[in-house]
C-alpha cells in the first residue's frame, strides 16, 4: 500500500480538527484569563490562600493544557496521509520518557506540598481563643444557628425536646441555655473576627457551603465537626447546601451577613436575644 517515504501531508480533516482544537485553546484562554464568570467575591482570610493556590494550579495546568492540546493539533494538521507516504518507525525514547516522567512527578510533588500548607492552615491549626463560636445544625431543609448567650456557654440540646419552634431541642431548663440564641436560616459574624463552627446534622448528610468564604464542610449525622475561618469583607452573602439531601436540597439556603463592626453584630445579637 505505501512504499515511499514522503513528508506528512496537510489534509482537510487534519486542518479542521486542528482548527477545532485551536478554538478550544482560545476559548479556554478566554474563559480563564478574561474571566467573564469567576469565583464569587472573596470574603475570608483562608479563602485568599485557596484562591492563590487555585491560581498556581491554573497556571501550571494551563500551560500543560495549551502545550499538549497545541502539539496534538499541530501533529494532526502536519502529519496527514495523502498517498503512499510512510510514517517514521521510531517508537521508543527512554531518555525522553524518563525526563517527562520525572518532570511531571516533580511538578506534581511541588503542587502537593503547596496545597498541603494551605490544607494544614485550616485543619491542623486551632481557632484562636477569641473566636465567635456558633453551632450549626443542618436538617431537611434548613440551617439552624445556635449562638451562645452572653454567658458564652452553650446550653444542652436533646433530640426529644425538638419542636417546630425549637428545632434543635435546646433544653431551656439547662442554666447555660437560658440566654442562648436560636436562629433559622440567618447567620451573622463580624469582619476580621475568627469564627468557629460546630457542624451537626439532624437527619442526612448536608454540606455547609459558604461560597464567598471558600468554606465547605459536610454535616454528618452522628458527628460534630469543627471548622474555623476568618471573614474579612463585610456584606450580605448566601449559604448553600452542597450535598444532596432530599427533595428540598435546592432550596436549603441561608443568609450570611458579615457585619462591618462588632457593634453592628451586637445590635443584631441583642435583637435576636429579645426574640428568644
Partner 1 sequence: MDDAHAAEHHHPQLGFWRKYVFSTDHKIIGIQYLITAMAMAIVGGLLSMLMRYQLAWPTSLSPIMAKIFPVAFSGGIMEPGFYISLVTMHGTIMVFFLFTAVLTGGFGNFLIPLQIGARDMAFPFLNALSYWVFLLSCIVIFSALFVTSGAPMGGWTAYAPLSAVPQAAPGQATGMTLWITAIALFTASGLMGGLNYVTTILTMRTRGMSMMRLPLTQWSLLITAILGLLAFPVLLAAGILLLFDRMGGTSFFLPAGIIMNQMPLAGHAGGHPLLWQHLFWFFGHPEVYIVILPAMGMASDILSTFCRKPIFSYRMMVYSMVAIAALSFVVWGHHMFVSGMSPFLGSVFTLTTLLIAVPSAIKTFNWLGTVWGARIRFTAAGLFALGFVSLFVSGGISGIFLGTSAADIQLQDTYFIVAHFHLVMAIAPLFAAFGGLYFWFPKMFGRFMNETLGKLHFWLSFTGVYAVFFPMHVLGIGGQMRRIYDPTQYMFLVPQQPVNVFISIAAFILGASQLIFLFNFFGSIFGGRRVTEYNPWHATTLEWSVPSPPGHGNFGVELPTVHRWAFDFAVPGEKEDFIPQTVPATVQAKH
- Interaction residues for partner 1, span 191-220 (CB under 8 A): 202-205, 207, 209, 211-212, 214-218, 220
User: Should residue 76 be labelled a site residue for partner 1 when binding is judged by CB under 8 A?
Assistant: yes
Return the ∠ at Cα 55 (arms to 210 and 237), rounded to 5°.
20
Min dist CB 152 to partner 1, Å, is 26
- State in angstroms the smallest separation of the CB of 182 from partner 1: 16
Which of 60-68, 172-180, 188-196, 267-275 is the region at the interface with partner 1 (rule: CB under 8 A)? Answer: 60-68
Nearer to partner 1, 120 or 128 (CB): 120
Q: Going by C-beta distance under 8 Å and a sequence separation of 6 or more, which residues neighbour residue 225?
A: 198, 199, 200, 217, 218, 219
Q: Would you count residue 235 as binding partner 1 (CB under 8 A)?
A: no
Q: CB–CB of 151/184 below 8 Å?
A: no
Q: Alpha carbon 56 to chain centroid distance? A: 16
Residue closer to partner 1 (CB basis): 181 or 210: 210
Q: Are 224 and 199 in contact (CB under 8 A)?
A: yes
Q: In the bound complex, what is the minimum distance in angstroms from residue 6's beta carbon to partner 1?
A: 9
Shortest Å, Cβ 141 to partner 1? 10
Q: Does residue 45 touch partner 1 according to CB under 8 A?
A: no
Q: Which is nearer to partner 1, 9 or 270 (CB)?
A: 9
Question: Is residue 41 within 8 Å of residue 51, measured between CB atoms?
Answer: no
Closer CB to partner 1, residue 103 or residue 150? 103
User: Which of 95, 124, 152, 275 is the binder for partner 1 (CB under 8 A)?
Assistant: 124
Radius of gyration of the chain (CA): 28
Phi, psi of 89 (to 5 degrees): -90, -5
**Of 10-18, 147-155, 176-184, 185-193, which part binds partner 1 (CB under 8 A)?**
10-18
- Position among 26, 29, 59, 61 found at the interface with partner 1 (CB under 8 A): 61
Applying CB under 8 A, among 159, 263, 274, 275 the residue interacting with partner 1 is 159
Distance CA 101, CA 84 (A): 35
Closest CA to 204 of 219, 185, 226: 219
Sole binder of partner 1 in the list 127, 184, 242, 260 (CB under 8 A) = 242
DSSP state of 30: I
Question: Going by C-beta distance under 8 Å and a sequence separation of 6 or more, which residues neighbour residue 24?
Answer: 69
Judged by beta carbon, residue 141 or residue 262, the one nearer partner 1 is: 141
Sole binder of partner 1 in the list 22, 45, 119, 179 (CB under 8 A): 119
Q: Are 190 and 131 in contact (CB under 8 A)?
A: no
Tell which positions 79-108 bind partner 1, by CB under 8 A. Answer: 79-81, 85-93, 97, 100-101, 104-105, 108
- Exactly one of 59, 223, 267, 276 binds partner 1 (CB under 8 A); which one? 223
DSSP H helices, the chain, are 12-29, 45-78, 94-123, 262-275
Measure the CA–CA gap between 20 and 245, rounded to whole angstroms.
Answer: 40
- Burial-class residue 124 by CB neighbours within 10 Å (0-12, 13-18, 19+): exposed
With contacts defined by CB under 8 A, how many residues of the chain interact with partner 1?
Answer: 106
Amino acid at each position: 500500500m505505501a512504499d515511499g517515504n514522503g513528508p506528512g501531508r496537510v489534509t482537510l480533516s487534519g486542518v479542521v480538527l486542528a482548527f477545532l482544537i485551536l478554538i478550544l485553546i482560545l476559548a479556554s484562554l478566554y474563559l480563564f484569563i478574561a474571566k467573564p464568570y469567576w469565583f464569587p467575591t472573596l470574603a475570608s482570610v483562608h479563602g485568599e490562600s485557596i484562591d492563590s493556590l487555585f491560581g498556581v494550579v491554573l497556571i501550571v495546568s494551563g500551560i500543560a493544557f495549551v502545550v499538549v492540546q497545541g502539539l496534538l493539533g499541530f501533529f494532526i494538521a502536519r502529519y496527514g496521509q495523502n498517498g503512499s507516504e510512510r510514517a517514521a518507525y521510531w517508537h521508543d525514547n527512554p531518555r525522553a520518557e524518563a525526563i517527562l516522567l520525572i518532570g511531571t512527578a516533580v511538578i506534581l510533588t511541588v503542587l502537593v506540598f503547596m496545597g498541603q500548607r494551605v490544607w494544614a492552615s485550616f485543619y491542623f491549626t486551632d481557632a484562636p481563643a477569641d473566636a465567635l463560636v456558633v453551632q450549626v445544625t443542618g436538617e431537611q431543609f434548613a440551617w439552624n444557628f445556635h449562638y451562645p448567650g452572653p454567658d458564652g456557654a452553650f446550653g444542652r440540646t436533646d433530640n426529644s425536646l425538638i419542636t417546630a419552634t425549637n428545632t434543635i431541642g435546646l433544653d431551656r431548663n439547662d442554666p447555660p441555655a437560658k440566654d442562648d440564641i436560636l436562629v433559622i436560616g440567618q447567620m451573622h459574624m463580624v469582619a476580621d473576627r475568627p469564627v468557629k463552627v460546630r457542624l451537626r446534622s439532624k437527619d442526612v448528610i448536608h454540606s455547609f457551603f459558604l461560597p464567598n468564604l471558600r468554606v465547605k464542610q459536610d454535616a454528618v449525622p452522628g458527628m460534630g465537626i469543627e471548622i474555623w475561618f476568618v471573614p474579612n469583607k463585610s456584606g450580605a452573602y448566601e449559604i448553600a447546601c452542597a450535598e444532596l439531601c432530599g427533595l428540598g436540597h435546592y432550596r436549603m439556603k441561608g443568609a450570611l451577613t458579615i457585619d462591618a463592626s462588632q457593634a453592628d453584630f451586637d445590635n443584631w445579637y441583642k435583637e435576636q436575644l429579645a426574640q428568644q
